Structures are given as C-alpha cells and as structure tokens.
Amino acid sequence: MIDDLLSQPEALDAARGVRGADEVTEALARVAWSVIADPGDAVAATLVREFGPVDGLRFALEAPGRSWPVIRAVGARRALDEARARWRQRADPAAVIGALRGAQKAGAQLLLPGEPGWPIAVDDLDAEAPMVLWVRGRAEFLTSSARVAIVGARAATAYGERVAADVAGDLAAGGTAVVSGGAYGIDGAAHRAALTVGGGTVAVLAGGVDRPYPAGHRNLLARIADDGVVVSEVPCGTAPTRWRFLARNRLIAALGQATVVVEAGWRSGSLNTAGHAATLGRPLGAVPGPVTSASSAGCHRLLREYNAVCVTSAAEVAEMLPVDARTSGSQEATDRGRVQLLRALSTRTARTEAELAQRANLTVERARALLGLLDLDGLVRRDGHGWRGVGAAPTS
C-alpha cells in the first residue's frame, strides 16, 4: 500500500497538507499503520521496530507466499498471519488520504515518534506506544515539565466534581498540565477548572480529534482545542468504541507523570487507567470519600489493593511528581532528591534502583545519579541485592 500511496499525487499532497514537504514517506506509512492497526497492536509495533514503518508496512501487506526472514523477530507465525488478515481488510489508500484530508480540515497536526514535539512519555508504553498522534491546539502541553492525569467516574457526585475542580485548578494554576479523557463527570470538572485558571490541559480522546465525544462536551472540547490540547492516536473521522476507550486510557496514564482517581465506582473504567499507571510505574493517587458512597468505592479499592497514595489536595498530588517536575532550581532539586532517597533507603534491606526511585518519587535515571553521589559521600553501599543506607542515614 505504501508504494500505491507514494505513487498518488493526491496522497503526497494530502500528507504535505499536515506535514510540510519533508518526511512524507514515513508520515504516509505511519498514518497508514494508524489506519490499518488497532491502538496498541503489538505485532504492528514489532514490525515497525524491526524494519521501520515503511518496510514494515510493505512486509505487513505482502502476499503471504513471499518469504521474509523475519518470522523469528515478529514472534509466532500464527499471530502474524492473523494480524495480516486484519490489516489487509483495512488497507485502503483512500482511507489514508481521507484521514489526512480530515486532519487538514480539522486543523489537526500530525506528530511522529522521535520528532520535536513528540511526547516521549508515551514511549514508556513500549510495544503499545502509539504509531502517531493527532493533535488539535497547543501541543506544547503534551511535554509540559509537570503533568498529572486526573480521572474518575462519569457518574460523579457533587462532592467528586468539587474535589476534582479544586485539585485540578490548583495544580493548573501552579503550572502543571491536567491530563484527562474529556468525559462527563470528573474528567470534565478537571478540564474546566484548568481552563478557568488559565492553565494547561490535555484531553485524550478515544475517537478522532474531529469527533467531539461526548456530544454534550462539544463546546468544552472546542475550548480545550483553543487553550489546551486535544489529542488522539486514531485518525480523524474514527468513532470511539469500547475497545478504543480502554486503549485510550493507557495514553492518559502515560502522558501523566502521576495519575489521580477522584471518584470511581467499584468497576469504574478509571480503575483501568489506574492499572495502566501502575504498570508503567507511575505514582498512583486516589481521593478518598465517604465509605457510604458507591462513587468512592473504586478509590478505596485502589487504596487497599493497589497501594495507591491517599491524596486530599493539590499539594499532596504535587508530592507524587518526580522532584525535577516540582522545582526549577536544580541544586534544590538535587538536595530534595537526596533527602528523599536517604529516607527511601533501609540499612537492613537492600533495595533496587527501581524500588528506590518509586519510594523516593524520582525517575530511575535520577535515582541512579543521586545514588552515585551518595555513594561517593559514603552514605550508601551496594551489594548483589541492591542499595542500602549506611549507619547514620534515616532508615525505614
């Protein structure tokens, strides 16, 4: 299909409409991928990683007889055959051209992995990272130095919406971008509060960025597209489906440096977002509520079963962010990181860098660097099991 597309002036023209003149080939291939593969398709991701988007696409849509020496890299032959069958059904150059034209019409920008403006936070999703992102509005909020996902029940109570607004407003006023899903209830309260204080907010949609959903949030999403940013991995024109909502949740979790669930029923979809955050190693917070309220049962479940942090204010949410996201002075950040790391160390039990980073609310890279400094100061020691504090350091 990619060669079909490259031979069509209309396709090249459509691609140039959203991309400028350069890198049209890779852009066309990645858009084609986002048309033929579902969000989070790990087989597609493997082909792209092994061969690049262009050759990967060629392989994906090849006649099955032709032999490529890649089966091993791609994994099970059967999974590949099944994926190819799925992809071929959707491999229509007109659909790719339609996606590009739709984006142009909606004023949507196309972001590709590795390019400037691409939010590298989503690369933490590895094989489930998006192929492309379609963006309407101020894309810079996707890479804000501080970003918190605030999610919760659509059927929120007045209490939940009030707390969501208080927390989101305070965070946004302090320069933290508020990431959510644009839904009724908690999501909407969080977006609105961020807009109200003139802060940044990111709405991650399950359908195309030209398909405001829910319909009742048409105006809100238009405001977000003006003063914040609306983003999706699926092409313009795509309707949201149950599967796409679930897949979308992983993007919300990945874009936030921490995820906070404000209100959620026992089986709320927000728990799915929380699960993604936990899988990604992102700090997870839950706002408690009355135990007599079914709308808080999911939050209490997160506190009990997922070891979520109990958060009651924006200040407590900010404590969940990596130290470097919370403060601008680098010496101050280093000092705070040292203190948190010393608190996270035990003199008795060796802890891995990943564990210490999580306990100290630091990125693993930062924790590693700081451990090196502490090692030079003789405050920590390392053995086969990990790091321990030495003597006078606070223990836990």
Please give the residue ranges that form the binding site for its own copies (CB under 8 A).
Answer: 159, 162-163, 287-292, 296-297, 300, 303-304, 309-313, 316, 348-352, 355, 385-386
How wide is the angle at C-alpha 133 spanned by C-alphas 130 and 136, nearest 5°?
Answer: 155
| Rounded least distance, CB 384 to its own copies, Å | 10
* CB nearer its own copies, residue 50 or residue 316: 316
| Rounded least distance, CB 103 to its own copies, Å | 41
| Rounded least distance, CB 256 to its own copies, Å | 20
* CB nearer its own copies, residue 267 or residue 385: 385
* CB nearer its own copies, residue 269 or residue 289: 289
* CB nearer its own copies, residue 120 or residue 310: 310
* CB nearer its own copies, residue 108 or residue 163: 163
* CB nearer its own copies, residue 241 or residue 352: 352
| Rounded least distance, CB 163 to its own copies, Å | 6
| Rounded least distance, CB 312 to its own copies, Å | 4
| Rounded least distance, CB 310 to its own copies, Å | 4
Written as six digits, the tokens of 326 are: 């919370």
